[in-house]
Structure 1
Amino acid sequence: MSAALIAHLQDLCAQSGHLTARAMFGGYGIYLDGLLIGVLIEDALYLKADDQTSARFEKAGGAPYVYMGQQRPIAMSYWSLPEEALESSEALQPWLRLAQEAALRKPAKKPVTKSRKPAR
């Protein structure tokens, strides 16, 4: 089903940009014009949210993707959408915009540097 869902998402997102999917986390990372905006897990789309946008997802009936960590459940910063959002491009547009905004606000990871031992 994932291939069909990815093709459907590509059709819905055509006017917003170029959507691609890359295998990750046992599902797929969803990229819009090269920016990671969501994940497709267990044939469900979850879009990127942050402190500024998660309340909008929650108000629309969405929930964060939660997986079981080693000791407790862990909520990710990717939220489900209302079903009608996947019915048309127009219905999906506001959610894509929120996901893009959240992804752009996310700070870049600092490069990992090797610690140097002091010279003796």
Structure 2
Amino acid sequence: MPAIKAFLEHVLEKLTSLGPVTGRSMFGGFGVFHDEEMFGLISNDVLYLKADDSNREDYLSRGSSQYKPMPYFRVPDDVFENSEDLSRWAQKSVAIAHAPPKKKK
């Protein structure tokens, strides 16, 4: 567990530009939260961010895999390594997490 927690701390450090970001143990990994809304998750030292119709293609076009059955996609390595890109991608996921739920038809 110490190595997994170290990766969580690394992710939280990379996301400081988003403001209050925290991690909680869940699903055998960690949920990543902004103001109590989950926008990311960590499993096996991989960061996944929440996606919807507004950003799903960004992930798919780069060959990212989905953390099924949840709407989270693996962050591409080059995005993870670039703080500005990661912040931009994470901000989209934060907005999705804070959006009101869509009404079912």
Band of TM-score, shorter chain:
0.7 to 0.9
Stretches of structure 1 that go unaligned for 5 or more consecutive residues are: 67-74, 109-120
Alpha-carbon distance between aligned partners in 1 of 2:35 and 2:16, rounded to the nearest angstrom? 11
Structure with greater Cα Rg = 1
Where is the helix percentage greater, Structure 1 or Structure 2? 2
- Kindly report the root-mean-square deviation, in angstroms, between the aligned alpha carbons of the 2 structures: 1.8
Residue 116 of structure 1 is matched in structure 2 by none
Distance 1:79 1:101, change over 3 A: same
Q: Under a length normalisation based on structure 2, what TM-score does the superposition of the two structures give? A: 0.82
Letter in 1 for 2:4: S
**Deviations along 1:7-26, whole A, 9 cap, x unmatched?**
11121111221221111111
Q: How many equivalent pairs are there? A: 100
Q: 1:95 aligns with which of 89, 93, 98?
A: 89
Letter in 2 for 1:85: V
Residue 40 of structure 2 is matched in structure 1 by 38
8 Å Cα contact 1:60-1:81 kept in structure 2? no
Alpha-carbon distance between aligned partners in 1 of 2:84 and 2:40, rounded to the nearest angstrom? 18
Stretches of structure 2 that go unaligned for 5 or more consecutive residues are: none
Where is the strand percentage greater, Structure 1 or Structure 2? 1
Q: Identity over the aligned pairs, expressed in percent?
A: 32
Q: CA deviation at 1:87?
A: 1.5
Q: Under a length normalisation based on structure 1, what TM-score does the superposition of the two structures give? A: 0.73
Question: Runs ≥4 in structure 1, deviation > 6 angstroms?
Answer: none
Alpha-carbon distance between aligned partners in 2 of 1:61 and 1:17, rounded to the nearest angstrom? 29
Instruction: Indicate the SS of the match to 1:52.
Output: coil
